[in-house]
Structure 1
Amino acid sequence: SHSPFWTGFKLFLSILALSCIIIALARPQWDYENKELQSSGMDIIFALDVSKSMDATDMMPSRLLRAILQIGSFLEQVKTDRIGIIAFAGTATLQCPLTDDYEAVRIVLNGLNSNTVEIPGTDIGSALRLAENAFPEGSKSKTLVLISDGEDLQHSALREARILKTKGIRVYTMGVGSPEGTIIRHPETGEEVKSKLDEATLQEIARITEGEYYRVTPGGEEIQLILKRIYESESTRRGKKVTILKEQYYLFGILAIILLMIESFIDPRKRKRGIMAAEKSNEH
């Protein structure tokens, strides 16, 4: 026969252990903790010329749309890098700060056109100045990809490139258009003028900052070359501090094991025999 008390107690421990297992499987969380997550990647900013000359069609469908397609192709291949977008014409604006939200970058990119920056002209130097401050202070992997037809009307680009060199920012330049050029309308006077690719400025910016220059072609293979060059350099590890809830499932797992161990040592039959023996001894 079995002792009703110990049989019931054994059942209670089993049910309690099972409950602990179910709770542990639910992965309960409480108590916040600060944790630094490490991710490997690079900080890459695209500085895109959106001046009126980029509407020229010596590269189909236009210089600007061809450049946007190049950046879109780049976005399809990155994984852990942070990407930013600068648009410039007569001045430069930060359209998208560095982020690893590539869908957000794509939305910003697809919204760019030759009316994005109101001030007309082409000031490459302003884009380089803005890029200098767009990279976070602690970043060790500062890469700028400058895409333009190279017509720098303010002539400040080379001076700014030398400053970027001292800051450790490498600039890869991409020339969009043809050296022969094409006829466009001047944005201010409306007169017909010839706009052509000025490779000399772009080549010199790349040389000063130890980057490389590529001319954009219809096939678009140069973006692959830039991607390869960028990834050949050492990627850095970024620490990102986040507040998370602590996992507490292990506490219930340990408790379940202890309860099952106790339950396994309880034998209601032995307990019953012990009680009966004690009662007989008292009778004598």
Structure 2
Amino acid sequence: MIDTFHFIRPLWLVALPLLWWVCWWLQRRRQRSGWQQQCDAELLPHILIGTAARRSSLPILLLWLTATLAPIALAGPTWQEQPQPIFRQQSALVILLDLSQSMNAADLKPNRLTRARLKITDLLRERREGQTALIAFAADAFTVVPLTEDTHTITALLNSLQPELMPAQGSQPQRAINLGVQLFQQAGAKQGLLLLVTDDDTPQAATAAANAAQQAGYALSVLGIGSKEGAPIPLKQGGFVKDASGQMVLPRLNSSALKDLAQAGGGLYHDLTIDNRDLDTLLSRLATRTEDPQQESSHSTTKRWQDEGPWLLWPLAVLVAAGFRRGWLLMLCLLVWLPQPAHALQWKELWRNDNQRGQQAFEQQDYATAEEQFDDPAWKASALYRQGNFDQAEKLWQDNDTADAWYNRGNALAKSGQYQQAINAYEEALQRAADHDDALANKKVVEEFLKNQQDQQDQQDQQDQQDQQDQRDQQDQQDQQDQQDQQDQQDQQDQQDQQDQQDQQDQQDQQDQQDQQDQQDQQDQQMQQAMASESDNQEDFTEAQKQLLRRIPDDPGGLLRRKFLYQYNQRDQHTSGEKPW
């Protein structure tokens, strides 16, 4: 016990010297008051009764004891730990989002899919505890995010979900229901809620799947998207979707059929509303806070130091009672601060691992904190990439031999100026996934940039060669002129006397000096022009580089499209349903 004895809140012990000084000051003041100030010291023994003098020191003694015990109690003395149960929100929710073409209908402005995504965003914002998953479906169902407590990840991926991501069009909600049950069972959740967000006007085929989910312990609630009037389905290339007979398709919300489906699944149905009445109704059956059934007794509890300070309240109560009997109300001021409970763990740290805390910092664009929190090398590399540390990010991606890792390495190499290595990385990604559209597009961008750079370099080399040739031609002409002048001077020397020859020699020297000065000035001017041209080309090159690198896409939609297509090709049954919208 001695080894483990300590104080939970030791800062309260700082008040001890101050309270002792107050007690000493009150004692000194009491000793110098009353009869002691009015009578001589020699007369006091004859005037004061001994018992009265002894009683006068009792309040001061009580004050000393109270001033000592109160800070010790507030400091929280402890020497043993006590177990404390851990509670968590065990409600599990799987959102089934319809991504069929009919969700592009504009009877709800701007369209049905946008309104559905906004409603799911509101749901995730209000959902602070429990696990949530997201499934997208059309002719087949695919997991976007498995069951997790990190709702920010789901929110970040919502805007990239479009009908164009689905490998095949149609409406098969029964496949989404079956996949949602699988997610519950894989996570070990014995209870859960399936929330179907759809505009399907013929959902009768999903009744059997809803019954099976209810029998397994998972209720199905339905949120209807659309209106009874309906609206045509626009196409990206223009026009509207038509059926086999050439008639324009006009999907309408079938509320009665969707309500029957919800009843078959043991859940509730509600149309989409502007406020939260729909979510309050549909999510009312989610489980409330319960103890975590997955953890054993050794893991379902935590330990904290047991505060023994409250035991000191009993002697303090006796001292206060004595103070009341003497009319000494000042003692109450020392008991107004009661010990606060000790918190051994923080709630967020208890239910989030390092990668989840890193993901939260990443979504808040705090990439430095995210890089420190992440244990996963791929996520750590992404955080370094967003900070501009492209070389470090590329080194972390070297440990992964997947197509996406090679694609990310190519982006990092391109950003750091290693363009040929970036092209090689994109080629490695295409060897592992020939349908990697983003890698192919980025490879073409970097190749085009290198080609433009090479063309600019060739033009600069040609200009330099031309300048050198011009200089050589000028030098030859100058040499020929010098030779001619020398010949003329020689003829004149034969006809003139020695003095004239000396004068002519002086003139020739002056002329040579002038020619050299002119040639030097001309060379300096050409050099300045060449340097100015090189600077202009460098500025043009930098601007072109920035424009080309901005064209490198950074959209999770491409990754989801390839993921869905890969899973779709791995499955045996490929159906598009009775209607491809």
Normalised to the residue count of structure 2, the TM-score between the two structures is 0.34
Report how many residues are paired.
217
Q: Which residue of 2 aligns with 1:32?
A: none
CA contact (8 A) 1:140 1:236 kept: no
> Residue in 1 aligned with 2:116?
67
Number of the residue aligned with 2:241: 186
User: Which position in structure 1 is the counterpart of 2:274?
Assistant: 218
The answer on whether the counterparts of 1:150 and 1:201 sit within 8 Å (CA) in structure 2 is: no
Q: Which of 127, 137, 141 is matched with 1:78 structurally?
A: 127
Q: Contact between 1:45 and 1:145, CA under 8 Å: does it hold in 2?
A: yes
Q: Determine what percentage of the aligned residue pairs are the same residue.
A: 26
The answer for the alignment partner of 1:146 in structure 2 is 196
Instruction: Report the equivalent of 1:203.
Output: 259
Contact 1:141 1:235 in 2 (8 A): no
- Using the TM superposition, give the Cα deviation of residue 39 of structure 1 relative to its aligned residue in structure 2, in angstroms: 1.8
Structure-1 separation of matches of 2:143 and 2:270: 24
Could you tell me which amino acid in structure 1 is paired with residue 139 of structure 2? G
Q: Mark the CA change 1:187 to 1:221 in structure 2 (over 3 Å): closer, same or farther.
A: farther
After the TM superposition, which of the residue ranges 82-91 and 112-121 deviates more from structure 2?
Answer: 112-121
Cα separation, partners in 2 of 1:191 and 1:73, compared to 1, 3 Å: same
3-state SS of 1:136 partner: helix
Cα distance in 2 for partners of 1:103, 1:188 equals: 39
> Contact (CA 8 Å) 2:140, 2:176: kept in 1 or not?
yes
Which residue of 161, 165, 179 maps to 1:112?
A: 161
| Aligned residues: CA RMSD | 3.4
Greater shift, 47-56 or 112-121, is seen at 112-121
1:38–1:240 contact (8 Å) kept in structure 2: no
For 2:114 and 2:101, how far apart are their aligned partners in 1? 12
2:287 paired with 1:237: no
Q: Distance in 2 between matches of 1:65 and 1:41?
A: 30
Task: Tell me which protein shows more helix as a share of its residues.
Answer: 2
CA distance in structure 1 between the partners assigned to 2:288 and 2:87 by the alignment: 16
What does residue range 162-173 of structure 1 map to in structure 2 within 5 Å?
162-173=211-222
SS in 2 for 1:195: coil
* 2:292 maps to amino acid: R
Q: After TM superposition, give the deviation of residue 119 of structure 1 in Å.
A: 0.8
Q: What CA deviation, in whole Å up to 9, does each residue of 1:151-210 have, x standing for no partner?
A: 347x52011111111111111101000011112232887862111112233111211122
Show CA shifts across 1:217-270 (max 9, x none): 23453123323x134x4554335669x9xx9xx9xxxxxxxxxxxxxxxxxxxx
* More strand by percentage: 1
Task: List gaps (5 residues or longer) in structure 1.
Answer: 1-16, 26-35, 251-284
Aligned ranges 1:11-160 → 2 under 5 Å: 38-136=87-185, 138-152=188-202, 155-160=204-209
Q: Which amino acid aligns with 1:142?
A: G
CA distance in 2, matches of 1:39, 1:239: 10
Contact 2:207-2:265 at 8 Å conserved across structures: no
CA distance in 2, matches of 1:152, 1:207: 15
Distance 1:40 1:127 in 2: 25
Within a 5 Å distance, the mapping from 1:268-279 to structure 2 comes to none
Matched residue SS, 2:232: strand
2 CA distance for matches of 1:238 and 1:66? 35
Report the CA distance shift for 1:218/1:129 in structure 2 as closer, same or farther (over 3 A). Answer: same
Matched to 2:143, the amino acid is: L
Structure 1 residue 70 displacement after superposition: 0.8
Distance 1:214 1:86 in 2: 20
Distance 1:75 1:216, change over 3 A: same
Q: Distance in 2 between matches of 1:158 and 1:225?
A: 21
Shift of the alpha carbon at 1:131?
Answer: 1.1
TM-score between both structures, scaled by the size of structure 1: 0.66
Three-state SS of the structure 1 residue aligned to 2:108 is coil
